[in-house]
Structure 1
Amino acid sequence: MITVSEWIVLLGMVLSFALVVLLIRKRVNFGISLLLGSVLLSFFSLAAVSIDSVFFAFLKATIYDVNAGVFVWDTVELAVLMTLIFMLASLMQDTGAIAQLIDSLRLLFNKGGTIAVIPAIYGLMPVPGGALFSAPAVEEEGESFNLSISEKNFFNVWFRHIWFPIYPISSSILIMADLASLNMYLLIAVNSVAFFVMILIGYVLLAWKTDMLHRHNRKERDRLNQSKRNKSKRDLSGLLFLIPPLLPLAFSVLEYVGIPLFTAFSIGVFASIVLLYLMAKVPWFRYKKFIKEAATWKLIAVIAGIMIFREIFEVSGVNLSIYSLLEQLPFTPLVVIIIFPLILGLLTGYLLSGITLSYVLLEPLFFSVDLCTVGLVSILFMSGFVGYLISPIHLCNVLSSEYLKTDTTRMYPLYIPASVVVLIVQLAFVVLFIR
């Protein structure tokens, strides 16, 4: 039975989430919106936890874990990394590196294929907020097809995340397989249906948006593209500008000598900024000006807001309240296994926490469902993934939207139906064939 305090916390969760969505629709800075949402959720959380717990959660999310008595640098490191990534993305745009890269890619992929290829390439880079790397290229190439800002945003984040269901070095796949004592490649094989469906949906929507909408000026666009091809004389040197955004991957090996992964990536991104200066051959005084223009406080506020919101979410026990509510409703165990990870992924905007919390709470229900373990784990994983994918506090959505000067909710007319189709197809596949 849900207690009064749990109902109050649930109400606070709904109101705080609604406040965040409302504020970002009103163009309020996302970080500030999340901070205000966190304050509102904290107020309602006092019905279940002490004010000390809430205050300690704020401290832990920013810099200090009172219970452990240690400084926690995760938020600071993530803020530094995201700021550096944003600077690199902006610098690649300002120096003309993106334009040269796209010109070379057009020789290999026509009819807007670069809009899919670039985010997919950067999607192999397991770094939070990596959609920032591809946003400048998608923005520029999208202009060739008069795509709206929301459409550019959708294609950028969609194609970046096509690998998530099957990526063997993803922490989410690794930990999920370990928790369930499954062979990782068996889980990947089952999830591969979702992977191919995401590619198919992305391809169909991209073909629609780049052809149907501009049939009236297609000849002119083809003429311009042909002119660029002739001018380039098959010059693929622009592909070298793939190196700066991918260079941080090489620095990830520093983790094996004791350097934290975020720190290693930050060093790598800083090295990429230096390398880009050498490659772009831009005068230093101009490059320095570009750096100053790219530096922004907004991402620091965004990261702080996300981390505080997650910590308050956890300390309030709202995840347990949601589970208690679902237990009281007339749902079958399978429906609970579908809905709960979806909600957690949506509310946290963080795939790993959404699916691990879900597994811990839902694993006892597995015995009540006539499906094999790998099928149930796949359902749980994909439900959490879809919730995370469309979450307005998902870091990739936030940073891509920030760069493109829009917000996540404006791409929902494409985003939500596409994501729901992926989940439905995966569910149907598991229920029909994985028993």
Structure 2
Amino acid sequence: MTQLISVLISFLFIPILIRLKFKLSYTLLISAGILGLLSGLGFENLSKIVTSIIINPSSRTTVLTVMMVSILGGLMKHYKILDKVVETILLVIRNKKNALMIIPAMIGILVIPGGAYLSAPFINNIGKEMKISAPRRAAINLVFRHIAMFLLPYSTSLLIVSATLPDLNIFKLILLNLFFVVFIIFTGYFFFLKDVKSNILPPRENIGKNLLKLAIYTSPIYIAVIINAFTGLPFHITLIASVIIVYLLSDKKDFFKILIKSLNWSTVLTVVAVLIMKEIILNMEELIGLFNNMLNLSNGMFSMLGIFLISSFFFGYITGNITASLAIILPMLSQLNIMGQLLYIYTYFAFGSAFIGYYFSPLHLCQAFTLEHMGVTTGELYKEYRFYAPTLLVILIISTLIFKFIFV
């Protein structure tokens, strides 16, 4: 029980420190330090845990991949490649409602903390033209911005899954996530765009040429996934090809200087802090035992899902960070000796629960930046979510039960 209290205390510091204007990376590092001190593991064990981030191949790959993705995002932003992607999308798409969905989803592919701030100006301008209210514009930007984190194998959240559950095939989990994403798109459209009037624009000229331009400008995003699929090389290696493509697409002015500046150490430190938390929790035998006993005493799948839902949602909500929530829940899941398809189903559910908690958290950076840009209050945004939020939760629960029925 003592170790459970130490986890709760350390994580309750996160919203306090964020309100005191600490950076998320420093906040999580401080929280990890408090957790280490309260865990009772001792200095020697804690030193080994920190060292393991470098020694452990899975953790090392995660950190290196995040470093490369932050460099790629910074380069694409600096050389206005993201702007060119949006401009080309608007040359290809005839329906502005479709553009409102595609633009934040496309920009969301780049793993940048608070990245909704990049898509917010585009959604705000198009939304104003279509006479969409500011709270709804904010909701549209946020809903479609977060699709990529379920599907991109080098998204930070899926990298944490791979690091914690190395025997899990991440592409199988992505297939399950795809089901959830389809419903996010459908419900997002139904609640926020269905009743919006939008005239179909005249047929676009040079559609083939513009599609080719779109494929070229977005190639830094998808080329790394293609190379990984064919060669099996880790993403921190295949992302080098993405950086090379950005170099070829850029004006090459001060490229290597910008490359170095693009490395987002705050993002890297955030992931390192999460990995340290994960390792500390895996070494907290009392906590793992308590969690195992709770699950062993649970009467079947529904009570287990209830535990995962409450814990994943809680930590996602109080931290405003999905990776922090996963750092607590997934290590415990890895200790349950769940095998086969059931492991994928529980991981899918824990991932979705953590996402819902994080997504609707007032500490969510993307939400904070979007509200600031569009001049919307948290209350106004949550009013827009009054039907969307419970629908998302119902979809997650029903889809999990369907997967259990089909695969187990």
TM-score range, shorter chain: 0.5 to 0.7
Which residue in the other structure is 1:151 paired with? 139
The structural deviation recorded for 1:17 is: 1.9
Which residue in the other structure is 1:36 paired with? 30
Of 2, 6, 9, the match for 1:8: 2
CA distance in 1, matches of 2:286, 2:210: 49
The structural deviation recorded for 1:26 is: 4.7
- SS of corresponding position for 1:361: coil
Distance 1:198 1:362, change over 3 A: farther
CA distance in 1, matches of 2:300, 2:59: 38
CA distance in 1, matches of 2:59, 2:400: 39
Question: Is 1:59 aligned to 2:51, yes or no?
Answer: yes
Of 323, 330, 336, the match for 2:291: 323
Which amino acid is 2:123 matched to? E
Aligned counterparts, 1:14-93, within 5 A: 14-46=8-40, 49-61=41-53, 63=54, 65=55, 73-74=60-61, 76-91=63-78, 93=80
- SS of corresponding position for 1:363: coil
Of 393, 396, 401, the match for 1:420: 393
Which amino acid is 2:48 matched to? F
Which amino acid is 1:246 matched to? S
CA contact (8 A) 1:344 1:387 kept: yes
The structural deviation recorded for 1:322 is: 5.1
Which residue in the other structure is 1:197 paired with? 183
Distance 1:314 1:422, change over 3 A: same
Q: Deviations over 1:73-122 (max 9, x none)?
A: 43651342132133134236477414422322433xx2431233356568
CA contact (8 A) 1:16 1:38 kept: yes
Which amino acid is 1:312 matched to? I
Question: Is 1:275 aligned to 2:248, yes or no?
Answer: yes
Q: Structure 2 stretches of 5 or more lacking a match?
A: 129-133, 317-321, 373-377
CA RMSD of aligned residues (A): 5.1
The structural deviation recorded for 1:392 is: 4.2
CA distance in 1, matches of 2:103, 2:113: 10
The structural deviation recorded for 1:41 is: 1.0
CA distance in 2, matches of 1:95, 1:200: 25
Of 106, 117, 132, the match for 2:102: 117
Which residue in the other structure is 1:302 paired with? 270
CA distance in 2, matches of 1:44, 1:416: 35
Q: Structure 1 stretches of 5 or more lacking a match?
A: 1-6, 212-217, 365-372
Which residue in the other structure is 1:100 paired with? 87
CA distance in 1, matches of 2:186, 2:45: 47
CA distance in 1, matches of 2:260, 2:177: 43
Which residue in the other structure is 2:123 paired with? 141
Distance 1:412 1:385, change over 3 A: farther
CA distance in 1, matches of 2:181, 2:268: 33
Question: Is 1:339 aligned to 2:339, yes or no?
Answer: no
Of 130, 143, 148, the match for 1:160: 148
State TM-score, norm by structure 2. Answer: 0.68
Which residue in the other structure is 2:375 paired with? none
CA contact (8 A) 1:20 1:33 kept: yes
Aligned counterparts, 1:341-420, within 5 A: 341-342=308-309, 343=311, 349=323, 358=333, 361=336, 363=338, 379-390=345-356, 392=358, 414=385, 417-420=390-393
CA distance in 2, matches of 1:377, 1:340: 15
The structural deviation recorded for 1:152 is: 5.2
CA contact (8 A) 2:312 2:353 kept: yes
- SS of corresponding position for 1:74: helix
Which amino acid is 2:244 matched to? A
- SS of corresponding position for 1:284: coil
Distance 1:379 1:254, change over 3 A: closer
| Larger displacement relative to structure 2 (83-92 or 241-250) | 241-250
Q: Percent identity?
A: 15
Distance 1:121 1:297, change over 3 A: closer
Q: Deviations over 1:373-404 (max 9, x none)?
A: 86x556424322213423649xxx97856986
CA distance in 1, matches of 2:296, 2:112: 39
- SS of corresponding position for 2:127: coil
State TM-score, norm by structure 1. Answer: 0.64
CA contact (8 A) 2:224 2:241 kept: yes
CA distance in 1, matches of 2:364, 2:278: 15
CA contact (8 A) 1:19 1:37 kept: yes
The structural deviation recorded for 1:14 is: 1.4
Q: Deviations over 1:313-357 (max 9, x none)?
A: 33334761551462487x422234313444358567286995685
Distance 1:359 1:96, change over 3 A: closer
Which amino acid is 2:247 matched to? V
- SS of corresponding position for 1:112: helix
CA contact (8 A) 1:162 1:199 kept: no
